[in-house]
Amino acid sequence: MSVHDLHSNSSYLGHEKVLMAVDCIIFGFDLNEIKLLLFKRKVEPLKDSWSLIGSFVKKDQTLEESASLVLDEYTGLRDVFLEELKTFSKVDRDPGGRVISTAFFSLIRLDEISAKLVEDYDAKWFGLNEIPALVLDHSEMVEYAIEKIRIKVRRRPIGFELLPEKFTLPQIQVLYESIYQKELDTRNFRKKLLSFDILTRTDEKDKSSSKKGAYLYKFNKQKFDDFVAKGFNFELQ
Amino acid sequence: MSVHDLHSNSSYLGHEKVLMAVDCIIFGFDLNEIKLLLFKRKVEPLKDSWSLIGSFVKKDQTLEESASLVLDEYTGLRDVFLEELKTFSKVDRDPGGRVISTAFFSLIRLDEISAKLVEDYDAKWFGLNEIPALVLDHSEMVEYAIEKIRIKVRRRPIGFELLPEKFTLPQIQVLYESIYQKELDTRNFRKKLLSFDILTRTDEKDKSSSKKGAYLYKFNKQKFDDFVAKGFNFELQ
DNA sequence: GCAAAAGTGTTTTCACTACACCCATGA
DNA sequence: TCATGGGTGTAGTGAAAACACTTTTGC
């Protein structure tokens, strides 16, 4: 059969169909480090293995819709950052049949997702250095996503997605250090971050991690949007 | 049906299957500007419309394999730059049926593809500013690809993929100007490019575009690979 | 000899780096 | 009063930007 056949009739009869799925790679930040949300399988085969959460794509859904629904069902979150990563299509990637799966990655605010929901689904947050073996090719997906997030974070301020409404500069520094897996110079970090002029300092202090307390900041949505639209370089050291 | 069902049995019976396709966005550089290779449909419906070239994905192929085969068949090229762009899945994107298509983009050396092959397939090269309306959602794919190539070019030297074996500095400058759609300062461009130390000047000159003639350069594969491996910033103005 | 493209250097500006001490507070 | 984390400034370095003239040669 020639590739010409793709558009040679409008019924596309005789071509081989496949199952299409999505898998979600969900990152969160607990104010200490960046973490990945994994789910324990409750059914055979591979019962008790850790896995990404996913779903088959229905006839009336786009991939994005399907991934959104998964995210909503398992985290209760809507309208969160969700981006296509890559489509995985190895012929034998799934012993259950020919399944092609598009991996999505999501950045969520850990403070918005209920611990109960996570528990109910037998899910768990893992630090990037303690990720267990995963079913199918999910480890490959995660590896790819971590690489991607390290690149992405340099070109896009990810604060809105991962940080709570109010946060301290030490917290956001820890976030970046956790992604880069590298210590950053406090003075330079603060200088650069503040120079973007997208943060507004509140009068409140967070004293949960020091006696002196650190000022809480908010993102200035307006300036943040201008900043993103104008294009910028968020690289930090 | 719950998303739990994804791994609840190994037969995945009862789930809805779809047709999976790939489409190739092929860029080339003719020493004047960067161009896109489009194909004219020869069959109804939408006969004579311009289209990307694609194929359905067979049972025993990955997406990458499928895209490689398309590229090989239509350009005669193997082992060229080919990268997944995004998967397009609007429910009604194809009037012929539910087809999900992964777009790939490719950078090729125009001097390596025979004009005859292009003619045989009723294909044509288009400058980025003269791209016609395309079938299905192919215009969207192309738009996305152009955006992507502008970002990509900043982080990766694309010379090997697009330039012939020997090329002049004015030619590579025109390539970058054509991608950025912006004039670059010759002195700064040459200074930066040469500072990477990945080019070797030959003794030959190309006199096709001036009386004085411009020196022909080659990529130094060894240094180029070190350069890529080490990580770098190829941003130019 | 002149038109047309190729080739070349210097100065200024600005962002990144490195680096060490004082501050505020609760215990 | 002291231990702990929060907060600040400056000098040096290097890369990017701006900018204009000379060279070569076919006609």
Stronger pLDDT, A1 or A40, i.e. the higher one: A40
CA of B213, C1' of D26: distance in angstroms: 11
The answer to whether A99 contacts chain B (CB < 8 Å) is: yes
The answer to whether B43 contacts chain A (CB < 8 Å) is: yes
Q: Which of A148-157, A170-179, B8-17, B98-107 has the highest mean pLDDT?
A: B98-107
Query: Residue B40: CB partners within 8 Å, gap ≥ 6?
Result: B48, B49, B50, B51, B122, B123, B124
| Mean local confidence (pLDDT), B175-188 | 90
Which of A 23-42 lie inside 8 A of B, CB atoms?
Answer: 41-42
The CB density around residue A204, as the number of other CB atoms within 10 Å, is 14
Question: What token pair was written down for A199?
Answer: 């943060």
Please give the mean pLDDT across all residues of chain B.
Answer: 87
Of the pLDDT bands very low, low, confident and very high (cuts 50, 70, 90), residue A236 is low
Per the document, the length of chain B is 237
Measured CA to CA, the distance from residue A96 to residue B60 in angstroms comes to 15
Q: Which residue of B has its CA nearest to A63?
A: B89
How confident is the model at residue B1, as a pLDDT?
A: 37
Query: Residue A95: CB partners within 8 Å, gap ≥ 6?
Result: A45, B10
| Mean local confidence (pLDDT), A36-51 | 83
Residues B7, A84: C-beta atoms closer than 8 Å: no
Of the pLDDT bands very low, low, confident and very high (cuts 50, 70, 90), residue B6 is very low
pLDDT digits (tens, 9 = 90+) for B143-177: 999 988 888 887 777 777 899 999 999 999 999 99
Stronger pLDDT, A129 or A229, i.e. the higher one: A129
**Closest approach of chain B CAs to the CA of A75, in angstroms?**
13
Is A186's pLDDT higher than 70? yes
Is A7's pLDDT higher than 80? no
Measured CA to CA, the distance from residue A93 to residue A133 in angstroms comes to 15
The answer to whether B62 contacts chain A (CB < 8 Å) is: yes
The answer to whether B100 contacts chain A (CB < 8 Å) is: yes
Of the pLDDT bands very low, low, confident and very high (cuts 50, 70, 90), residue A207 is very high
pLDDT digits (tens, 9 = 90+) for B63-108: 999 999 999 999 888 889 999 999 999 999 988 889 999 999 999 9
Of the pLDDT bands very low, low, confident and very high (cuts 50, 70, 90), residue A8 is very low
| Mean local confidence (pLDDT), B204-221 | 94
Which of B53, B59, B95 is nearest residue A16 as measured by Cβ atoms? Answer: B59
Is B182's pLDDT higher than 80? yes
Contact (CB, 8 A) for A25 and A117: no
% of chain B residues with pLDDT over 90:
57
pLDDT digits (tens, 9 = 90+) for B113-124: 877 888 888 999
Of the pLDDT bands very low, low, confident and very high (cuts 50, 70, 90), residue B44 is low
Give the sheet arrangement for strand A167-168, strand by strand.
A167-168, A214-219, A199-206
How confident is the model at residue B47, as a pLDDT?
A: 78
| Mean local confidence (pLDDT), A27-52 | 86
**Closest approach of chain B CAs to the CA of A127, in angstroms?**
24
Contact (CB, 8 A) for A48 and A124: no
CA of A205, C1' of C27: distance in angstroms: 19
% of chain B residues with pLDDT over 70:
91
How confident is the model at residue B14, as a pLDDT?
A: 78
Is B22's pLDDT higher than 80? yes
The answer to whether A47 contacts chain B (CB < 8 Å) is: no
Stronger pLDDT, B1 or B37, i.e. the higher one: B37
Residues A18, B21: C-beta atoms closer than 8 Å: no
| Mean local confidence (pLDDT), A172-192 | 91
Residue A162 vs residues A57, A73, A176, B30: alpha-carbon distances, Å: 27, 19, 11, 45
Q: Which nucleotide is at minimal CA–C1' distance from B210?
A: C5
Stronger pLDDT, B205 or B3, i.e. the higher one: B205
Which chain C positions have some atom within 7 A of a protein CB?
A: 3-10, 16-20, 23-26
Is B18's pLDDT higher than 80? yes
Please give the mean pLDDT across all residues of chain A.
Answer: 87
CB proximity A221–strand D (7 Å threshold): no
How confident is the model at residue B236, as a pLDDT?
A: 66
Measured CA to CA, the distance from residue B223 to residue B203 in angstroms comes to 20
Query: What are the chain A neighbours of B12 within 8 Å (beta carbons)?
Result: 19, 56, 96-97, 99
Of the pLDDT bands very low, low, confident and very high (cuts 50, 70, 90), residue B43 is low
Residues A56, B12: C-beta atoms closer than 8 Å: yes
| Mean local confidence (pLDDT), B129-146 | 94
Which chain D positions have some atom within 7 A of a protein CB?
A: 3-10, 16-20, 23-26
